[in-house]
Amino acid sequence: MKKQTRGFIILFGLCFFFLATSLFAEDISVQAQLSQRNAYVGEAIVYQIQVTGSDSPDQPDLSGFTDFNVSFMGGQNTNQTFQMTVNGQTTRYENKGYVFQYKLIPKGAGNLTVPSIDVKVNGRIFRTGASSVYIQEPVEVDNFKARVSLSKSSCYIGEQIYLSVTLYFGANIQSPIFSVPLLNDDRFHFIPVDQSKSTQKDDLVNIQVNDEEMIMKIAQGTLNGQKYNTLSFSMIVIPRVSGDLVLDKATVSFDGVSGYRNVQDFFGRTVRKEQYSKFVVPSNQARLTSLELPRANRPPGFSGLVGEYKVAAEAYPLEVKVGDPITYTVKLSGGLYMQYDDIPDLNELSAFNENFKIPKDRAPGKIQGSEKLFLHTIRASNKDVKEIPSLEIPCFNTKTGKYEKIVAPAIPIEVEPTATLTYLDVQGEDPEEIKKDVESWKEGIAYNYTGPSVLRSQNAGLSGLTHPAMLLFLIILPLAYLVLLYMFRLRPLIEARRNPVKLALQQVLKNLGNWDESLSSADQYNVLLEQLKYYFGAKFSKKAGALTFADLKPILQSEKTPQELIDEVRSIYEVCEAARYANQGKVGVEEMKTRVINLINQLERGL
Amino acid sequence: MKRLLFFFLVLVALNLSAQEIVSEQKDVDHLLEEATRAYQSALEISTDEPWKADDLFKRSIQFFQGIVDAGIKNGAIYYNMGNAYFRINDLGKAILYYKKALEFSPGDANLLQNLTYARSKRIDSIQDKEEVKILKTLLFFHFDLSSDVKTLIFVISFVGVWVLAALMIFIHKKVFLNILIGCALVSCFFFVSMTVDQWARANQTQGVILAEEVVARKGDSASFEPSFQEPLHSGTEFIIVEERQDWLQIELNDGRRTWLPRKTLGLLKEI
């Protein structure tokens, strides 16, 4: 076999090995479990998919679970690590895993099948096993009943009506959970009702409804002539589609008192103790006829208000000059939930825009009690304006079943001409063009961010400071300072302590180099001699100020200094001392300085 | 031959990882595109069809969440999610996500404006403690400046200290010494301020009430008496003091403590 062919076979084999090991590197398994095998219609069953061998499976598709309403409760990894030490050698093991949790709410009774599903893990498909669950139809019992009711049995698309879900209980209950699949029905829009404003605080409790907690009201009520305690909540319902709509039943599960048994207390007395059992009770099935809004006679500029709305308006001040601001407030009422309700833009109404200046932007309405207030700042544009015109809002009256116009009556005002002459008036400029400070509009939120920078991961907090480059920079600064300090301050000091002669020599040479030319001749000689004495003082550990040549001579001889250098020392001493008193030396100062430097250098070399 | 083999294997490995990166990038690009489209469409129909708009805003939130789940942590994404939650009137989550965005983009003017506006819409008015108010006035540089600005001032003053100290080795001037002392004080202040911030971030779990309203209790069960006359409402901010299974003890901005069910709360560390 040729060498090249053999090489390619080895290469192919390695590639195959590489792929095979990557595919079968981990031992992966997928299992599905149900929290219970028996349940009632509407009762939640937890469905868990356990993946072992990987902590990054794709979320499975449960759209095939047609017998159940499915809601995803979340997923989390179940990774475990442990160490094992055998013969002193420690080995670290890691078990990867992931769990998906779903809530299944059976839609009907019978033996229902939870189908097998495909779970994609690391590119491979694993299939869970199918299982069955027996679902019973919940049964209403005398003491416990659930009711779903609507404030109207017939309404129009977009109309707001009340939905109430109530549990009637004639005996004590514990841990109630409401399952109201209707709240996830896309045919309706639901808005929670704030019950705290109309109910005593002590009569409010947090109860689980589907996956969320909701504040419910505890009260007393009558059903079929029988008195019960009630636990209820309300929502505003807005139908989105037309037709005869059947609302899904709600169910309530709880532990309720099913009987009593006699027990003996601590003192031996017989007392009656409540016996609790699990109950799941169904509600009635409510129906709603939802009607389309009639297309005929739909007025132009129909605002979308559907209900029994009313509108009123007020303005202040009523006596103004041309251009003065008037606060015009429109009060809309009659809706159960008015967050989305709006009135026409005054700028588009000719009755307003012909006689008034109206800002192009206006604040969104503000809900205050049962009203929604729309504030406008308008200005009369001429003195002939006599009133703020009536405001007509086309809406659909659900009581009469017709399109109608609700009207805020006109408000009379008095407008005087502008009397104040301003600089701009004198200049002949149009008062409409008077420049004003541009004030920021404080209502509303700013725009969203887009673009590639949004997809760049950022670090939170003091990340800039803890970045390695920044830390390095911050550490280098003090280090650089310490290096400079050592080089230019500490090292000379240390060396001076080690070798005072050298330090003195450097000092003398430095002083002679920085010669002060302004000194008198006598002083210059004096300085010269003092430097020489300072040098000898340091060199022979003597007191420099009183060091005469007579003192030096025996020391220099004992150090075996050549005679010519001793003579030179004597000569310098004589010349300098003579010049100090004569104010002029035999030899020039510059020459003496050179001789002193040469002498010191020769002595340093020789001694 | 060995060289060829080695080169080939490296090429395969690089190609596989590059493909994976490109594919992930395409995924998040797509998610951002979809999120932006849904948000824009929702804005366009928000006046005429508010319910449909709500659905679209929720859809945009799901796409943004997909980006976060893909491992991208960016202040702008959390800010956008805050905006979408605000649009669907989920004030609690809007404030929660704005606060999360604040961790990444503390100096963002739009974010600060939106957060302030969202806070102004809350029902509960809870004032800061008096001591905190005084501290906030005195130590304005600690409370008002963003982490970025603090970092910048600290770095400049820190550099100033060491440069001036180095200059003073060669040149002895009193003015240098005075500036050096000033810089040292400033850098100390800001170092302490940033350390306190970091400590708070690591040790204090902040959160926001998400439920429309919730009755705060004096203990960790619904059987305890209410803590306040009124229930608390969505958007109210707090820090966690203690955790017990399904209930958390929280401290409000005015220093009052109470217990709330865990389900009604959103915590910054959990998003």
pLDDT in tens, A378-405: 888 888 889 999 998 888 888 888 888 8
**A18: confidence class by pLDDT, cuts 50, 70, 90:** very low
Decide if B75 contacts B102 (C-beta within 8 A). Answer: yes
Same domain as B31, residue B100: yes
Decide if A356 contacts A381 (C-beta within 8 A). Answer: yes
Q: Do A206 and B222 touch (CB under 8 A)?
A: yes
Q: Which two tokens stand for residue B166?
A: 């180095």
Distance CA A346, CA A69 (A): 47
How do B247-252 and B257-261 pair as beta strands?
A: antiparallel
Q: Do A462 and B169 touch (CB under 8 A)?
A: no
Q: State the pLDDT at residue A13.
A: 58
Burial class (CB in 10 A: 0-12, 13-18, 19+), A208: middle
Distance CA A221, CA A211 (A): 27
Decide if B155 contacts A469 (C-beta within 8 A). Answer: no
DSSP reduced 3-state for B213: strand
Distance CA A313, CA A329 (A): 6
Same domain as B136, residue B184: yes
**Mean pLDDT for chain B overall:** 86
CATH number for the domain spanning B85: value is 1.25.40.10
Would you give the DSSP letter of residue B217? Answer: B
Which region among A120-124, A224-228, A580-584, B116-120 has the lowest average model confidence (pLDDT)? A580-584
CATH number for the domain spanning B239: value is 2.30.30.40
**A74: confidence class by pLDDT, cuts 50, 70, 90:** confident
**A66: confidence class by pLDDT, cuts 50, 70, 90:** confident
Same domain as B247, residue B187: no
Distance CA B113, CA A29 (A): 50
pLDDT tens-digit series, residues A303-319: 788 888 999 999 988 88
List residues bridging with A214 in a β-sheet. A207
Radius of gyration over alpha carbons of chain A, in Å?
Answer: 50
pLDDT tens-digit series, residues A152-191: 899 998 888 999 999 999 889 988 888 888 888 889 988 8
How do A204-209 and A173-179 pair as beta strands?
A: parallel
Would you give the DSSP letter of residue B91? Answer: H
Quick check: is B81 in a domain? yes
DSSP reduced 3-state for A135: strand
Q: Which residues contact A532 (CB under 8 A, 6 or more apart)?
A: A508, A569, A572, A573, A576, A596, A599, A600
pLDDT tens-digit series, residues A557-566: 888 888 888 8
Indicate the CATH number for domain A310-433: 2.60.40
Distance CA A515, CA A504 (A): 17
List residues bridging with A74 in a β-sheet. A101
Q: Where are the beta strands (DSSP E) in A96-187?
A: 97-106, 110-114, 118-121, 124-127, 131-136, 144-150, 154-156, 161-169, 173-179
Quick check: is B223 in a domain? yes
Query: What sign for the dihedral angle of Cα A361, A366, A370, A371?
Result: negative
Quick check: is B125 in a domain? no
Q: Which residues of B touch A448 (CB under 8 A)?
A: 36, 39, 79-80, 83
**A22: confidence class by pLDDT, cuts 50, 70, 90:** very low
CA distance, residue B195 to nearest chain A CA (Å): 9
Which of A21, A217, A458, A476 to mutate to probe the B interface, most B CBs <10 Å? A458
Same domain as B232, residue B172: no
Same domain as B188, residue B244: no
> Quick check: A111 pLDDT over 60?
yes
CA distance, residue B103 to nearest chain A CA (Å): 5
Q: Do B215 and A215 touch (CB under 8 A)?
A: yes
Query: What Cα–Cα distance (Å) separates residue A265 from each residue in A270, A274, B256?
Result: 6, 14, 42
* End-to-end CA separation in angstroms for chain A: 88
Q: Which residues of A touch B50 (CB under 8 A)?
A: 339-340
Of B86, B230, B264, the CB nearest to A213: B264
B180-239 residues touching A, CB cutoff 8 A: 194, 197-198, 201, 211-215, 222, 226, 229-231
Q: What is the mean pLDDT of residues B116-125?
A: 89
Q: Which residues of A touch B194 (CB under 8 A)?
A: 462, 465
CA distance, residue B194 to nearest chain A CA (Å): 7
* Helix residue spans in A390-520 (DSSP H): 423-427, 463-466, 468-485, 491-498, 500-513
Distance CA A243, CA A255 (A): 38
Burial class (CB in 10 A: 0-12, 13-18, 19+), A588: exposed
Per-domain boundaries in chain A: 29-136, 144-290, 310-433, 498-606
What is the per-residue DSSP string for A52-108?
ES-S-PPPPP-TT-TTEEEEEEEEEE--EEEEEEETTEEEEEEE-EEEEEEEEEESS
Q: State the pLDDT at residue A23.
A: 45
How do A319-321 and A414-416 pair as beta strands?
A: parallel
**A20: confidence class by pLDDT, cuts 50, 70, 90:** very low
pLDDT tens-digit series, residues A452-484: 888 887 766 666 677 788 888 889 999 999 999
Half-sphere exposure of A219 (CA within 13 A, CB side): 13
Which of B2, B89, B162, B260 to mutate to probe the A interface, most A CBs <10 Å? B162
Q: Do B165 and A450 touch (CB under 8 A)?
A: no
List residues bridging with A316 in a β-sheet. A327
Distance CA A586, CA A158 (A): 123
Same domain as B114, residue B34: yes
pLDDT tens-digit series, residues B127-136: 877 777 788 7
Decide if A152 contacts A401 (C-beta within 8 A). Answer: no
Range of B212's domain? 206-270
Fold equal for A29-136 and A310-433: yes
Q: Do B158 and A446 touch (CB under 8 A)?
A: no
Quick check: is B136 in a domain? yes
Helix, strand, coil shares, percent, chain A, to 5: 30, 35, 35
CATH of A144-290, one of 3.40.710, 2.60.40, 1.10.3470, 1.10.150: 2.60.40
Q: Last residue of a domain, which of B177, B203, B229?
A: B203
Name residue, tokens 């797509």. Answer: B30
DSSP reduced 3-state for A218: strand
Of B39, B67, B170, the CB nearest to A455: B67
Q: What is the mean pLDDT of residues A571-576?
A: 87
Quick check: is B6 in a domain? no
Among all residues of chain B, which has the CA nearest to that of A341?
Answer: B47
Evaluate the omega torsion of the peptide bond into residue A294 and state whether it is cis, within 30 degrees of 0.
no
DSSP reduced 3-state for A337: coil
Q: State the pLDDT at residue B62.
A: 93
Q: Do A453 and B197 touch (CB under 8 A)?
A: no
Q: State the pLDDT at residue B174.
A: 86
Of A192, A455, A465, the CB nearest to B194: A465
CB contact, 8 Å: B147 with chain A?
yes
Distance CA A250, CA A286 (A): 10
Q: Which residues of A touch B229 (CB under 8 A)?
A: 201
Same domain as B62, residue B112: yes
Same domain as B102, residue B176: no
* ipTM for this model: 0.74
Name residue, tokens 């809350």. Answer: B122
Distance CA B210, CA B237 (A): 10
CA distance, residue B134 to nearest chain A CA (Å): 25
Burial class (CB in 10 A: 0-12, 13-18, 19+), A328: buried
Query: What Cα–Cα distance (Å) separates residue A350 from each residue in A299, A344, A440?
Result: 17, 12, 28
Q: Last residue of a domain, which of B95, B120, B145?
A: B120
Which of A449, A471, A476 to mutate to probe the B interface, most B CBs <10 Å? A449
Quick check: is B84 in a domain? yes
Decide if A356 contacts A380 (C-beta within 8 A). Answer: yes
Which of A216, A448, A463 to mutate to probe the B interface, most B CBs <10 Å? A448
Q: Last residue of a domain, which of B203, B231, B254?
A: B203
Q: Could you tell me which CATH class the domain A29-136 is placed in?
A: mainly beta
Q: State the pLDDT at residue B2.
A: 62
Maximum mean pLDDT: which of A138-142, A207-211, B134-138, B160-164: B160-164
Q: How many domains does chain B have?
A: 3
Q: Do A196 and B213 touch (CB under 8 A)?
A: yes
Among all residues of chain A, which has the CA nearest to that of B104?
Answer: A460
Would you give the DSSP letter of residue B38? Answer: H
Distance CA A51, CA A118 (A): 12
Q: State the pLDDT at residue B64.
A: 94
> Quick check: A571 pLDDT over 80?
yes
